[in-house]
A = this chain, B = another copy of it.
């Protein structure tokens, strides 16, 4: 069956001056899950001609074009003008929309600047998409009968809810009618991307019609599979089969399905078993705690811990014996284990997790090179273990992979 196609246009000179484009990845994942193929993305500056040309190009290779940015009130917000220009339409002033915008402004400001009137300009024939999170409404334009262009405000807090609640349902209705997407995603840790990739090769070979993606980042690997079907029952069957085959290939490394991060999966296990966790971080310096507490509700199982960067802190806060530090060095399996026990004891937690290592670029020796890291877990109960890691890459790669490896160690320890 035909796969509906989507293309992205990201508007804003800041995207060509150092701002990281996060909309592209976010949108791609959601469009694929809904059964679309994303055929391309363009970032263009705040320039009417450039935006209009990008809109025309995108429309030439997609059923649906999603445009983010350039709908604000200032002189350099030009997406409305560019869309009118690209499709030979007029811009129409909508007094009702202007009243809504003014009411919204009145809640926060004394007076509405006259220039904001531009936000009430709508491409002739477009559907207005209300924006409860900001003043710029979105617009959906039908072009050449069967294609559509959706204009959305740039800020993530406005873009994301508008896309999920208003745009995606319309795209599915208009372009993916009869398409029943079957999708399965799994997140892996404790396995190199190349190993996961090789194990998944036979699955890919068995599914010539499916689209697969493998992504690696900071020591985690995610694998996505999607295939469009024509009935809901077939989609359910396909998704279940994909899940079964993928988990048979790499299930031992899986920590979660869908979007579940390793820290969320660990939290799920800890909560299910009524366990609590404390950390002791040396070279990761707080990264593990930061990831654990990025999960809403982490206070149910995460007690806190110690950032034991200096050796004196390892001794004072974690009770690591001074003699052990002198004899084995801070980066050693014995100190890692002592830190994990110390973290657990100090916080009264059921599991203690520790990392010590050499993140670089300096500080490495022949015996203890940059990238040498020990991760240790103490508990639950009398269990405990230490893992030695050799991580290649720059400082931030060593730190983030060390954090991932430690979280994975705790995830395994929390298995019932």
Contacts and interface: CB of A to CB of B under 8 A. Distances in A.
A307 B305 CA distance: 5
Interface string A349-368: 00000000001111000000
A110 interface: no
Contact of A285 (B57, B222, B298): B298
Interface string A274-316: 0000110101111111111110111100111111111011001
A28 interface: yes
Work out how many copies of this chain go into the complex: 2
B17 A20 contact: no
A24 B29 contact: no
Contacts of A316: 346-348
Contacts of A346: 313, 316-317
A50 B39 contact: yes
A309 B299 contact: yes
Interface in A154-194: 157
A196 B313 CA distance: 40
Interface in A3-28: 13-22, 24-25, 28
A132 interface: no
A313 B277 CA distance: 12
Interface stretch (A243-251, A377-385, A391-399): A391-399
Interface string A17-51: 11111101100110010000011111111000010
B45 A50 contact: no
A43 B29 CA distance: 15
Nearest to A278: B313
A361 B296 contact: yes
A290 to B, nearest CB: 4
A416 interface: no
A289 B299 contact: no
Contact of A38 (B17, B42, B297, B361): B17
A258 to B, nearest CB: 12
A307 B279 contact: yes
Contact of A286 (B14, B214, B288): B288
Interface in A366-416: 393-396, 399
B24 A43 contact: yes
A21 to B, nearest CB: 6
A54 interface: yes
Interface in A60-79: none
Contacts of A296: 360-362, 395
A32 B19 CA distance: 13
B43 A16 contact: no
Contacts of A224: 17-18
A375 to B, nearest CB: 16
A215 interface: yes
A135 to B, nearest CB: 14
B307 A286 contact: yes
A133 B302 CA distance: 40
A306 B309 contact: no
B286 A293 contact: yes
A34 B291 CA distance: 37
A310 B303 CA distance: 5
22 contacts: A13-B213, A15-B25, A17-B224, A18-B29, A21-B21, A40-B45, A41-B42, A42-B43, A157-B394, A285-B298, A285-B304, A290-B399, A296-B362, A297-B362, A299-B309, A299-B310, A303-B312, A304-B317, A305-B307, A312-B347, A313-B347, A316-B348
Given A290-B290, A316-B346, 10 more contacts: A17-B28, A17-B38, A21-B25, A40-B50, A57-B57, A281-B289, A285-B286, A303-B310, A304-B308, A304-B310
